[in-house]
């Protein structure tokens, strides 16, 4: 054996014979196997562990992808690389290629949130702001596509790096989804499960384009300004309460508070006396028959009738419930064609929704209410 053969043999032993990656982190997605000048010996051993995929890149081009297992690297196990290199009759050691190990386990509990408030236009409250945050989980589905399109030449790619890209994508698609949903503002916080599922379906194609599978997507909270919350709660209570009884209750509370503010023993006595009197008066207003039965000789005091309560109407637009709105507002909506004669309308006291044209007091919207001519004398 000549001198140059000895040198060649000695150098060949310096090339790495075993290619593997032992992951000691919880956040590494892609690790590039480093060695001198990217040289690999013929017949080298490639070990791909469970939860990993090995990707071979040749001069920026995707070559062969290996699933978990142990492989002897030769032309039979490297068909795409053999084609790219033009190895028709085998090859001599060493050959050059970049080897990337891709972690395919599930990355969970990744955080997302809206940095800026999302502006929505609600039919009742006008322009409003909401914020949202939650978690998501993902895994690498197509290792080759992910390495080529996202990782590039990064030798150690972590989930922090990909999350910066994914968070921007999530917020963009979440904003589009809630904007197109056109729900009443309070329903976003009340339907986070359904909204989460819809957002996941919308986002998955975007994740798939770079080889990522969005396993789970959760919206944990949808928040709005405190003053808007108070308006919604008050609006909801007014929609449910009997306005006559609410007025009586608030009047009684106001008088009682005024009596408390008189001060001293006299004030306290006046407050107690007025409180008892108000309790008896309100009991009589709410149940006059019971009052008469407890004292048959007492004549029922003259009590003015409750103030007329404004009728509020709910209406449907494109299958979504809107309102309530007063009569004049509904008339305005009819005039600008937001609703029509066939639109479904409901008010308190109705058993079911009915077409606008079937509700007696709303027929005036349709015209044709001109009185007949006076009889000829």
Structure tokens at 125: 């409250």
Question: Between 303 and 272, whose confidence is greater?
Answer: 303
Q: Indicate the domain borders of the chain.
A: 3-103, 107-225, 312-366
Contact 30/100 with Cβ under 8 angstroms? yes
113-150 CB burial, b ≥16 within 10 A, e <16: ebeeebebebeebeebebebebebebbbbbbbbbbbeb
Q: Cα(85)–Cα(40) distance, rounded to whole angstroms?
A: 14
pLDDT value at position 291? 46
Q: Does residue 107 carry a pLDDT above 70?
A: yes
Q: Does residue 286 carry a pLDDT above 60?
A: no
Q: 57-72 pLDDT, tens per residue? A: 887 788 889 999 999 8
Directed axis angle between helix 243-260 and helix 264-286, to 10°?
A: 170
pLDDT value at position 371? 60
pLDDT value at position 106? 92
DSSP-assigned letters across all residues of 185-203 = HHHHHHTHHHHHHHHHHHH
Q: CA 142, 145, 149, 155 torsion: positive or negative? A: positive
For range 138-146, the mean pLDDT? 93
72 vs 35, 66, 155, CA distance in Å? Answer: 18, 11, 24
Q: 156-205 pLDDT, tens per residue? A: 888 888 888 888 889 988 888 887 877 777 777 778 888 899 899 999 99
For range 45-64, the mean pLDDT? 90
298 — pLDDT class (breaks 50, 70, 90): very low
For range 35-59, the mean pLDDT? 86
Classified by CATH at the fold level, domain 107-225 comes out as Tetrahydropterin Synthase; Chain A (3.30.479)
DSSP state of 101: E
DSSP state of 4: H
317 vs 90, 155, 295, CA distance in Å? Answer: 71, 55, 54
Task: Write the burial class of residue 376 (CB in 10 Å: 0-12 exposed, 13-18 middle, 19+ buried).
Answer: exposed
Q: CA 205, 210, 211, 212 torsion: positive or negative? A: negative
pLDDT value at position 262? 55
Q: CA 145, 150, 156, 158 torsion: positive or negative? A: negative
Question: Between 341 and 42, whose confidence is greater?
Answer: 341
Q: 333-372 pLDDT, tens per residue? A: 988 888 998 999 999 889 999 999 999 888 888 876 556 6
The verdict on whether omega for the bond into residue 122 sits within 30 degrees of 0, i.e. cis, is no
Of the candidates 29, 23, 32, the residue with the CA atom closest to the CA atom of residue 138:
29
Mean per-residue pLDDT of the chain: 78
For range 222-243, the mean pLDDT? 70
pLDDT value at position 60? 79
């Amino acid at each position: 054996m000549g001198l140059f053969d000895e040198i060649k043999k000695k150098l060949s032993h310096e090339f790495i014979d075993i290619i593997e990656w032992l992951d000691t982190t919880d956040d590494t997605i892609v690790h590039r196997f480093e060695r001198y000048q990217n040289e690999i010996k013929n017949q080298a051993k490639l070990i791909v562990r469970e939860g990993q995929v090995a990707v071979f890149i040749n001069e920026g081009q995707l070559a062969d992808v290996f699933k978990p297992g142990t492989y002897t690297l030769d032309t039979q196990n490297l068909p795409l690389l053999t084609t790219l290199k033009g190895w028709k009759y085998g090859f001599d050691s060493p050959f050059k290629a970049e080897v990337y190990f891709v972690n395919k386990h599930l990355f969970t509990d990744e955080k997302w949130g809206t940095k800026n408030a999302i502006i929505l236009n609600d039919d009742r409250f006008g322009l409003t702001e909401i914020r949202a945050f939650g978690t998501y989980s993902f895994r690498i589905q197509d290792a080759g596509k992910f390495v080529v399109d996202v990782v590039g030449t990064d030798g150690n790619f972590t989930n922090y790096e990909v999350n910066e890209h994914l968070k921007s994508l999530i917020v963009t698609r979440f904003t589009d989804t809630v904007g197109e949903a056109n729900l009443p503002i309070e329903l976003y916080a009340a339907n986070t499960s359904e909204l989460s599922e819809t957002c996941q379906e919308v986002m998955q194609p975007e994740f798939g384009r770079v080889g990522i599978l969005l396993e789970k997507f959760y919206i944990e909270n949808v928040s709005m300004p405190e003053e808007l919350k108070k308006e919604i709660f008050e609006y909801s209570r007014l929609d449910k309460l009997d306005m006559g009884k609410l007025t009586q209750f608030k009047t009684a509370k106001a008088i009682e508070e005024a009596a408390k503010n008189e001060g001293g023993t006299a004030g306290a006595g006046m407050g107690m006396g007025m409180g008892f009197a108000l309790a008896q008066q309100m009991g009589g207003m709410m149940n006059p028959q019971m009052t008469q039965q407890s004292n048959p000789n007492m004549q029922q005091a003259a009590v003015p009738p409750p103030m007329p309560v404004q009728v509020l109407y709910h209406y449907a637009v494109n299958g979504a419930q809107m309102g309530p709105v007063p009569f004049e507002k509904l008339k305005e909506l009819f005039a600008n064609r937001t609703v029509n004669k066939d639109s479904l309308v409901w008010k308190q006291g109705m058993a079911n929704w009915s077409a606008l044209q079937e509700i007696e007091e709303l027929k005036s919207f349709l015209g044709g209410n001109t009185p007949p001519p006076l009889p000829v004398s």
